[in-house]
Structure 1
Amino acid sequence: MRLLHNFIVVVLVQLSMLTVVSADVRVVTPSYGLQVAIDGAQPGDQLLLDAGRYIGNFKIDKPLILTGNSGTIIDANGTGHAIVVEAPDVRIESLEIRNWGGDLTEMDSAVFVKKRAARTHILNNYLVGDTFGIWVDGTQQVLIKANRIEGNLQVRSQDRGNGIHLFNVGKARVEGNEVWHTRDGIYIDTSNNNELIGNYLHDLRYGVHYMYSYHNLVSGNRTVNTRTGYALMQSKFLTVTNNISENDSNYGILMNFITQSTLENNRVSGVQNNRSESGGGTSGSSVTEGKALFIYNSLFNQIRGNHFSDSDLGVHMTAGSEDNIFTGNAFVNNREQVKYVATRQQNWSHEGVGNYWSDYLGWDMDADGIGDTQYEPTDGVDRLLWKFPAAKVLLNSPAVETIRWVQRQFPVLKAQGVVDTHPLMQMPENLSPSTASDAAVTEKIDDKHS
């Protein structure tokens, strides 16, 4: 029995030694060759790349950790993917990757993650190139964190790739990345149960772009100087919370065929699209107003506790966008608060709580915080001006004022539109610019990307 016990102990010791040996840290130099090192490594090894330029296209077909020292550059020499990941449990960290291919049809990327490469981690890298930064294709549980991805301004926007592109991906987490000068910052297509957390996306076409995706969380992100901050399209069950959109030109948040989703505690400001100093452009101008929130054919959504300010339009809603809940939002200093193009009246209050409107002129005799008269942001004259923009020259004329007087005196003649029957007299406390929650989100993002 003692001999058997000693034999088992020896076997366990040898197995533990094999485990240690199988997870070696191997230092690689440019002269040795990176692909040679990958091919010769054992599963679980760490390849530590010494400073220098590694030229070529590299394939990882086993679980590895690939990390770089300061000054490590992967250069794909202008063709194909720089790194292709074909195995699960790979980690790529602290590399600078440049000069991969420029073929959008071939989806040329700095890092291309294939279907078998579940649980790939891509961390703290700097990627700069013309096409896609990171493309994840049909795999699960990928972590993309703290990367900086830069596109090429010398290439037309439509000819660049997206910074991070997820296709048919599940349970991915994209966190704390900075993306700029690519086409879209983060593009998510046919991908469910993913999380986008705390990313900084600026100087892009779209910051976040969703297509055909369910059950995704978008939280704590910040977009600046994009054409559209958050383009949410043909998706369901999205939770979009605590995000910031600043100075995006066309749309802060765009909802196109979005259903059963939640927008809560987001802050959108300064969505203005090339308007003149006088605020209206020239008569007959084709310039589209910047919209803090645009809702197109979107139903059964909850829009709560958001702050929309200093934009050409607070909300533009059209194409059968009905049965959405609007409550506890603040609409502040927008040139036009609401544009509603439909024939059904909508009440933007819920369970006795409406929204805060900076241009509301009602009163609160019983001091319950709810206005005693309802708020109506639009009327028949507004609809006429939307249909015939050149008529704006008559905006303050006696004829227009007479039409508005008739509507007030004879409500039966009033066009259908948005009404808030319980407007808030004060801005909700959580939406004040000085609130600690908003300051914390901004400070967290700024510190991460300073």
Structure 2
Amino acid sequence: MSVQKDGLEQFVAEVRRRGGSATRLTGAEALVEVQAGAGRPVRVKLKTKRRGDWQAQKSDANPRPENPIDAWVFVDVNYPIGSAPIVAAGWMRDDIQSQVQEWLAADPLRDSTKLRHHKIPEARVAEWRGRWDIIGFPTPATSSGDVTEDNLGAWVFKCNPKVWDLRQYMKDGNDSIEDWSVVDNYRSEMIRNGQRAILWASGPEGGQTPRGIWGLGWTTGQRYPSVDETQGYWTDEDKRHSVRWFAPTDITLMKEPLTAAEIRDYSGLEDLEVFRSPQGANPSWISKDQLARLHDLLEGWPEHEAGSGEPITVGAGGAGFGDPRTNKMIEDAAVDIATDHYTNLGYEVEDVGARNLGWDLTCIHASGDIRRVEVKGVSGPTPSILLTRNEIRSAREDENWELAVVTRALTKPTLAAYTASEVLEHAEGFVYRVDL
């Protein structure tokens, strides 16, 4: 399905859910006629994207009188359609016009008839998010789909069994989910340790994996990028290779799901986002009010384990959690994986870890690019690591320094790379030397 067609289907479905009708008009542009009530129909221009900015034309600053529109609707297929910016056509025309004038004034030689494209970033139209009243629909306070710290009840991580084989995963004896893929948006940026998490199976309501809640638990940290994602239980190669971010979780799988039919029949839960926007990207969510109602259908919620009290080992070779022997096995496996990774990228790799320089691998590319890579390995899915004072010093002083973290180093290794600035931004004092 094309991005434009996906956006059109989401918009039409939302209009119908709100009690109106929407008809696509013929022509190259995505124009839709919307009837919200007894008044006159309104005409909207639909812009859809999956990533980046929305694309318009500089000529939109001077709309054609024979083809008038009342509003623009900006759809991001990774966001719930309820929070789409809906912008009055007059404001949009004036905004594009002012930007085009600034663009021309910056260089008199520019020609808007040749460079016709005009980008519309999200920030430009953010103030119009969820303005369904512009096209004739009331806008309840809960309809925008925006998540805040105050209204978040739980994150909902959706699993399509046709893409990731949940049934086989459980048959193989697995009883928990340690992480889940998410898209790069403001929601995934909000994920922190200790937030409630739900695993939702999408798809049909019957079959081996009926639609509904299959797991309950918690998030265990901030999202983290994935560089190399192994096959695992993925059944769709394109989907697997498109994964860029993961959220660490501790979700306990249920022996029997709480089905979508059971949830929908309960008062106050029929309007969950997974019902309204089933095609929306991960993560979805439920509000605190919805969570309170959902608790009536559940037997309980797993306890959140804070993860404190683990033994810490600190030595000349670095710092980490767990016993020194296991740490050495994890460290060696991580270095081997990182060496293969940078070699495959075309670097000549030298292991300098024994020299205590503040990094483990010196990687030199034929292009002249140099990377000094500190390697850390962890046995679990969460890239939470300890750095020595020497490693922090290197991150501060060396612009070519970077960190490679290998999660699940001994079982299902996944490598993620971080710049020095990213590492320093999240570093905090944790272990201190005290000479008595």
If the TM-score is normalised by the length of the shorter chain, which range does it land in? under 0.3
Instruction: Report which of the two has the higher share of strand.
Output: 1
Structure that is richer in helix per residue: 2
Larger radius of gyration: 1
What is the TM-score when the length of structure 1 is the normalising length? 0.23
Higher relative contact order (CA 8 A, sep 6+): 2
Q: How high is the TM-score relative to the length of structure 2?
A: 0.24
